[in-house]
Amino acid sequence: MNLDDTIVAIATPPGRGGIGVVRLAGPAAREIAMPMLRLKHELAPGRVVFGEFVEPGGEAADLRSAGQPGAAVPTWALVVPNTRTDPALSLSKGVSAPHASPSQRIDEVVVTYFAKPYSYTTDDIIEISAHGSPVVLRHIAELFVAAGARLAEPGEFTMRAFLNGRIDLTQAEAVRDLIDSQTLYQAKVAAQQLEGALSRRLQPIKKDLVELIALLEAGIDFAEDDVSVLPDATILDHISSVRTPLEQLNATFAYGKIVHEGLTLAIVGRPNVGKSSLFNRLVERERAIVTATPGTTRDLVSETVAIGGIPVKLVDTAGIRTALDEAESIGIRKSMEALADADLVLVVLDASQSETAEDAELLRLAESRPVIVVGNKSDLGVRGQGLGVSGRPSTICTSICTSALTGEGIAELREAILRHIGGEAGTQAESGFLTNIRHQGLIKDSLAALGAAKNAVAGKVPHEMLLMDLYNALRPLDAITGATTTDDILNLIFSTFCIGK
């Protein structure tokens, strides 16, 4: 990537809004932007300045004195152009338009200047905040391109920040996670990663591994100078001191993956046990149709809610029984598919009735997934037997009595779902954990190399060969932060970013 050119992009999402931002970054940012700005005050680093964005060239350029404040401008120059009659503001991609009248104002703007190296990319950055008209924002960007800038690629601003040493790769990926956050908790976790939580956790692990490599290298290179060779027991202790925290970090991925991606929760049960009513209670609105007639739900109904800050996709399913018609048969088949695909299953029983053979069969079918047994309709009295977990399949987490009608037990059900989500790893939420499958794969590669190194020590393999395993363990850790990441991996990562970030 060329870091010496100047790039431009619209940094706000497509569509109309109150404010839109055009970001210009690179060595020529000031040179390109200033002839088009008529400012109330001198442009200074870290200072927000109000002004106008005008068409470049002609009499306006002389009056603006290359962007200096205080220049007199005739009143005819302050007319806002009409996009219906002025072709200069009706540009289509790849089509040139006639030049507008000299000194014609495009919009009132707020300009922020970030001087290098104290900017996001470490380049000079000028951000133009204008009214959020797509036509105006696109025209501003096109004028910058005509003046010598280049349209930025997706994620190019953040890639420049990484390549210029402003952030490491884990922090760059956290930027994307922060933008993609669906809940406040996801945003907080991404903000921790952006602050370098994962990098700080990896730093002492890498330090211990590098120290072990250095000791072995010294023993090999300076053997004639009586540099002692590490005994096997000491080498194994060093490997263990690296491997143990890596294994602990690897164990956080089960929780981190749920935090990052959310999970799917299927609500299954016999007809008329209150699945849709329970679904509506968890969604906190009347999302699914509820009637007293068994078999009302014929298709899957889904909604995503936040439970403890985790996105949970709730799936209401058709009642599972012997189908009475073709439509119900299709719905039941979809219910079974939802059960098989879910990360967690709520098996809903009627607490006011004794457990049936159909209930027992449903619990058997759900054995392949973690299960919470819900005894619904507790407001009618709990007569059902066997709601406890004793004697049940080991996948059953707990059982809870609820009433979708009165709301009794709903809070306890949410807590049970949250306990399943968090597990033991949930307590590590503040210390940096794995949320990215790329990171987890690299941690596993490092652990595999450390395992090979341990076996090499046990097999009395020469230290020259042992070092190969240790370097194989170090390289994946470097790849997490970006120290040894290839261009192909970088392009793959940053291509998923939005343009302008």
Q: What is the pLDDT along the chain (501 residues), one digit of tens a residue?
A: 677 899 999 999 888 889 999 999 999 999 999 999 999 999 999 889 999 999 887 444 443 444 444 443 333 333 333 433 333 333 333 333 444 444 688 999 999 999 999 999 999 999 999 999 999 999 999 999 999 999 999 999 999 999 999 999 999 999 999 998 888 888 988 998 898 899 999 999 999 999 999 888 877 765 554 545 788 899 999 999 999 999 999 998 988 888 888 889 988 888 888 888 888 888 887 765 555 555 555 567 888 888 888 888 988 887 776 666 666 677 777 878 888 888 888 888 888 888 788 888 888 877 778 888 888 888 887 665 555 544 555 556 678 888 888 888 889 988 888 888 875 444 445 567 888 899 999 999 999 999 999 999 888 888 888 999 999 999 999 999 888 777 777 887 888 888 888
Nearest-angstrom CA–CA distance, 454 and 25: 49
How many residues are recorded in the chain? 501
- Which two structure tokens, joined as six digits, stand for 87? 């072709």
Residues 421, 276 share a domain: yes
Contacts of 157 (CB under 8 A, 6+ apart): 7, 9, 23, 25, 120, 121, 500, 501
Residues 178, 77 share a domain: no
CB 311 within 8 A of CB 294: no
- The CATH number assigned to the domain holding 392 equals 3.40.50.300
Has residue 466 been placed in a domain? yes
Has residue 230 been placed in a domain? yes
Residues 280, 409 share a domain: yes
What confidence score (pLDDT) does residue 305 get? Answer: 87
Chain CA centroid to CA 25, Å:
25
Residues 414, 281 share a domain: yes
Residues 449, 414 share a domain: no
Has residue 499 been placed in a domain? no
- The CATH number assigned to the domain holding 105 equals 3.30.1360.120
Q: Cα-flanking dihedrals φ and ψ of residue 125, to 5°?
A: -130, 130
- Domain residues for the domain of 208 are 172-252+433-494
Residues 319, 280 share a domain: yes
Question: Which DSSP string corresponds to 127-155?
Answer: EEEEEE-HHHHHHHHHHHHHTT-EEPPTT
Residues 485, 365 share a domain: no
Nearest-angstrom CA–CA distance, 410 and 403: 7
What confidence score (pLDDT) does residue 73 get? Answer: 37
Question: 278 by DSSP, 3-state: which?
Answer: helix
Contacts of 252 (CB under 8 A, 6+ apart): 425, 428, 433, 434
Residue indicated by tokens 């010496």: 4
Question: 390 by DSSP, 3-state: which?
Answer: coil
- The CATH number assigned to the domain holding 468 equals 1.20.120.430
Residues 67, 26 share a domain: yes
Residues 147, 46 share a domain: yes
Residues 215, 93 share a domain: no
Nearest-angstrom CA–CA distance, 100 and 84: 14
Has residue 166 been placed in a domain? no
Has residue 258 been placed in a domain? no
Residues 133, 79 share a domain: yes
For Cα atoms 114, 118, 122, give the angle at the middle one, nearest 5 degrees: 90
- Which two structure tokens, joined as six digits, stand for 496? 């998923």
Query: For the chain, how many structural domains are there in total?
Result: 3
Question: 368, 403, 425 — which closes off a domain?
Answer: 425
Has residue 323 been placed in a domain? yes
Residue indicated by tokens 């996948």: 395
Residues pairing with 52 in the sheet: 38, 108
Has residue 347 been placed in a domain? yes
Q: Is the peptide bond before 462 cis (omega within 30 degrees of 0)?
A: no
Has residue 401 been placed in a domain? yes
Residues 286, 337 share a domain: yes
Question: 377, 395, 425 — which closes off a domain?
Answer: 425
Question: 152, 180, 196 — which closes off a domain?
Answer: 152
Residue indicated by tokens 């159909």: 358
